[in-house]
Structure 1
Amino acid sequence: MAGKAGKKASDGRLPKKIYERELLRLQAELVKVQEWVRVEGARVVIVFEGRDAAGKGSTIKRVTEFLNPRVARIAALPAPTERQRTQWYFQRYVEHLPAAGEIVLFDRSWYNRAGVERVMGFCSSQEYSRFLHQCPIFERLLVEDGVLLRKYWFSVSDNEQERRFRSRLEDPMRQWKLSPMDLESISRWEDYSRAKDEMFVHTDIPEAPWHVVESEDKRSARINMIAHLLSTVPYYEVQRPPLALPPRPPSKGYERTPREMQTLVPDRAAGLIKESRG
């Protein structure tokens, strides 16, 4: 066991036991952040961007794993409708911004225009230029209004991205994660790189800087991203009132409806137990 852990550490990958222990500690701190956000009425926006298969989705899962979905929600918007295409570009994203006491995690965001739309020709040059001009203004308005805006770019090499794509192709449980658009990113690697560099030039602003997460090792990427997020939020531990289970009151004569009068779900588990016993 020690040999395996040592091997992972030597090739730069975070050993599983260390990762799981630290992840759980960080997730406990995220629960404290959630309570702070709720009590203080804070508004938090976290933008997740980066290459396809860079590990954004799996990191979002770890961030939200123990959080209350009424406080922390994920915004993963589909392609815009015909009506939305005629609106101000940022309009449909504004609808998903948090109210007081909420955290919103954008799994992809308004930066679609600077990435896939730019590279794949889904927007005009005028629309693209207008985005680069308006985006810093839009984000400054959010920050000036008190929104805590954090932007993370997940960076992965072309070789590692291809390896992850191949892994998904061979896994029927994860093939849904791949689309023709994802595979197109392999042949357009340099185009996406240039688009990302230009995006950073215009939108890496002091009020809302980009934070780059190296994600060759997904475990390290998750730990690093969450640890950084925690370091940027001025939260404190909210003291919750002590809770105790009340005593169960004496029966008032209620009798449960007979099971045979209800439609029960078939007991598949019992069948598995029987099969295991041979």
Structure 2
Amino acid sequence: MKLLRYGPAGQERPGLLDASGTLRDLSAMIPDLTPATLTPATLDRLRALSPQDLPAVTVQPRLGPCVGQVGKFVCIGLNYRHHADETGAAYPEEPILFMKATSAIIGPNDDVLLPPGSTKSDWEVELGVVIGRLAKRVSEADALSHIAGYCVVNDLSEREYQLERGGTWDKGKGCDTFGPIGPWLVTTDDVPDPQALGLWLDVDGVRRQTGHTGDMIFSVAQIVSYVSRFMSLQPGDIISTGTPHGVALGMTPPPYLRPGQVMHLGIDGLGEQRQTCRADI
């Protein structure tokens, strides 16, 4: 299933994209796509519906973040071999964890606001993992059963804040609008192998990133198991699993984002995003 949220910011309604690409309203079935409705039982009930019996949305609405009321936004750093190579970093022996502020979350096509004075804002297309049931010290073999689905994430990063201002990476990762998610939450039955997905990102029509989740140093199952050792993962939590090579930071000179530029990105089977960069005044 392709589940989504649509409507004005803060007033999103739940929806489903059927096999023909028609948006169907789910408001009569669930109040929203949130931790309370991402349980296996609720998803099974939604799978049993006949999409043609649901109301069609005939206008082209704004798409909101594909999950609401996210509790934790956990990210993995340097998790693609070619990305570690381009930054000159050694491959990590264990996953690098950091947190992204949930206030960074926006819809997949909302404007990205570059912070005042920012000169080193960067893009990062990533596979997002959405937790569907409690994961606490789970085994790698059992980890995938705790996932509700997957989505596209743009893990935007202000590199000066991240790398030159001391402390952890979080201050360069959590800026408002630096976490577009969606357009859809694609349930696990439609993603048989999360390590078999292509990723890409363009800036102003120029291909900057082309990658494959098979290049991950740590697989999705390893990541979920590992993170669950240090914190319980709750339904609705998102893990962003790292980015492939092709970020501005790895180029000479780095073509960091500027107001007016457009990012277009996607993952096989998970949909596409498009954001215009604006100055946050």
Fold in common (TM above 0.5)? no
TM-score by length of 2: 0.23
TM-score by length of 1: 0.23
Q: Which has the larger radius of gyration?
A: 1
